Chain A
Amino acid sequence: MTVDLDKYLKPGKDHYIALGLEGSANKLGVGVIRHNQGQLTSSNRAEVLSNIRDTYIAPPGEGFLPRDTARHHRNWVVRVIKRALAVAKIKGTDIDVICFTQGPGMGSPLQSVVIAARTLAQLWKIPLMGVNHCVGHIEMGREITGADNPVVLYVSGGNTQVIAYSKQRYRIFGETLDIAIGNCLDRFARTLKIPNEPAPGYNIEQMAKKGKHLVNLPYTVKGMDLSMSGILANIDSIAKDMFGKQNKQLIDEETGEPITAEDLCFSLQEILFSMLVEITERALAHVNSNQVLIVGGVGSNQRLQEMMKLMIEDRKNGQIYATDERFCIDNGIMIAHAGLLSYRMGQVTDLDHTVCTQRFRTDEVFVEWRDD
């Protein structure tokens, strides 16, 4: 049985248009999406009309703080909305619903964006729809790649989860017990004082490509969950020994060659990604699936995709799905897409219920638009 997605289509129209606003971390994204009536299938894909983003970049050695990030979002939100509307070539009257990220994320950046969403919704008399950020990633990943029922690995600066769909919920199979994987990589980038532009994780990835020697680090998978703060503390102390006052030279045991910063980046990635591959593989076995979808900012890491591919190719009919940085990294279009799916089921969020929340579990969302 399939869900009827067109019960709430406006009379005389054959499509829907949604505006999506995302600002849960340091990216401010606004996107416009169009769904034609009927089921979303390979011949009736959602159409991305615009996808505009502006990123707040903190100086090297520093992370982005909530206050500064919120200020950035407030400064830019109206301009980014205008550009998204201009590129999409749509008018306010074309929009069915305004979607915004309701959580999880950093409190004050989220709040600074919802203010614009609420004002615009009232000015143009358009309903609002609050969206769970993680569900936004999952639905956009499914739509772009065409993966119908994958195990989802959601890896970003704030989240690390292995998710599988069952009975109208995205259920969390395994997750981090402390810090997110992107947070771990970003913080190590800060230790090394490498730039945050375009993204700290991206710079780590480029350095890791030049690394050859594997430095011994703890491996901390705990059942289906993982822990990364201990690994970070460990590699941070190695880096401090090497580049601090002591200036200690580390030697690779096998080759006798000196250990470099590139080797540290390489080792950190290898250990962290191996842990992710392990829990993802176990989740696949649990739900008897052979598809993996990688979403979230860290999902754009080529090495992670490659390691996951090696694992999945050993499984029968195994397939890996990943998107590029337009959709992997936080963006407004995924919020528009997931919000529009809810809207097509007749859901809207009243003004009084648009309060954003820092904690919003993936499995709290009732996935009404799926029925498989």
Chain B
Amino acid sequence: MTDKLPYKVTLSIPFETHEQATIAKNTLSPDPIVKSVDEFNIEYEINDNILQILFSGASNRIIRVTISNTIDNLKTILECIDEFEGKQDHLFEIDGEKFTG
């Protein structure tokens, strides 16, 4: 199968802790990225605090699209970690942010 997917990229994302990396992996991994296994494959590995994501695809285009999407998702995950980790006992205060409703 690997012969059919000649394009490969690995992202290594260092988190602060092993737990953070695990949360990120569990958040990303449920979503199927492309319908066909023949065109694309994604694997997640955790080494201590580093999340490694291995993309392999039939074209570089498919790799670009999926990496872009994964990075967008990682941004949300990181923002959640930054704002909410360890704060389950915290009362949030109303800030100056305006919403359109």
Interface residues of A (CB under 8 A from B): 52-55, 57, 70-71, 74, 76-83, 85-87, 89-93, 111-112, 115-116, 118-120, 122-125, 198, 351-355
Q: How far is the CA of A79 from the CA of B95 in the complex (A)?
A: 9
Q: Nearest chain A CB to B3's CB is how many angstroms away?
A: 29
On whether the beta carbons of A120 and B80 are closer than 8 Å, the reply is yes
Of A74, A124, A198, the contact of B76 (CB 8 Å cutoff): A74
Q: How far is the CA of A119 from the CA of B73 in the complex (A)?
A: 11
Of B32, B84, B92, the contact of A124 (CB 8 Å cutoff): B84
Question: Does B26 count as interface, using CB distance less than 8 angstroms?
Answer: yes
Q: Contacts A82-B83, A91-B89, A119-B81; is A54 near B26 (CB within 8 Å)?
A: no
Question: Does B27 count as interface, using CB distance less than 8 angstroms?
Answer: yes
Q: Nearest chain B CB to A75's CB is how many angstroms away?
A: 9
Question: Does B16 count as interface, using CB distance less than 8 angstroms?
Answer: no
Closest B residue to A72 using CB positions: B100
On whether the beta carbons of A122 and B26 are closer than 8 Å, the reply is yes
* Inter-chain contact total with CB atoms closer than 8 Å: 102
Most buried by A among B76, B77, B89, B95: B76
Interface class of chain A by DSSP: helix
Closest A residue to B80 using CB positions: A119
8 inter-chain pairs at a CB distance below 8 angstroms, sorted by A residue, are A70-B72, A76-B99, A83-B95, A83-B99, A86-B93, A86-B95, A118-B27, A119-B76
Which residues on the B side are within 8 Å of A90 (C-beta)?
91
Most buried by A among B26, B85, B87, B88: B88
On whether the beta carbons of A355 and B31 are closer than 8 Å, the reply is yes
Q: Contacts A86-B92, A92-B90, A111-B31; is A123 near B100 (CB within 8 Å)?
A: no
Q: How far is the CA of A33 from the CA of B13 in the complex (A)?
A: 36
